[in-house]
Amino acid sequence: MPMYDESMIQPLRAELTKHGVKELRTAADVDAAMKLAGTTLLVVNSVCGCAGGAARPGIALALKHATRPTQCTTVFAGQDGEATAKAREYLKPYPPSSPAIALLSGGKVVAILERRDIEGRGPQDVAAKLVAVFDQHCAKQPV
């Protein structure tokens, strides 16, 4: 059962989807995304202040970089419970964190920013960390 009224959450979802980040709303969506070749950015979105103040804006900045993941995806903690639970299975052994930003390759985490890595930082800091991860693990994508 969703924790929040969807009309309140929609603008928070749109902060990512307008940059091409695909929402994964079911466990099947998550499994299908993890089977695709290449690298996958998986964002565990949330309503918290550090998600709105640093994570989502930082992701938006990082996605302007020429080197990006093959696909970018998101689940919404507290809203899409089934999808979030399935996504967190792919993020093990890392404990549940909202927000969290992970890069996966072959369904395995190669880098992750947990809440503790996001909280208290600005969007530029988050973007810089993501760009460094993209440069290390991803290929240039057409803009």
Distance CA 125, CA 77 (A): 23
Pairing verdict, β 39-45 and 71-76: parallel
Catalytic residue among 12, 48, 61, 128: 48
Catalytic residue among 9, 30, 33, 50: 50
- Please identify which residue in the block is written with the tokens 């929609």: 10
Is residue 48 flagged as an active site residue? yes
Is residue 138 flagged as an active site residue? no
Asked whether 67 and 140 are in contact (CB, 8 A), the reply is yes
Catalytic center residues: 48, 50
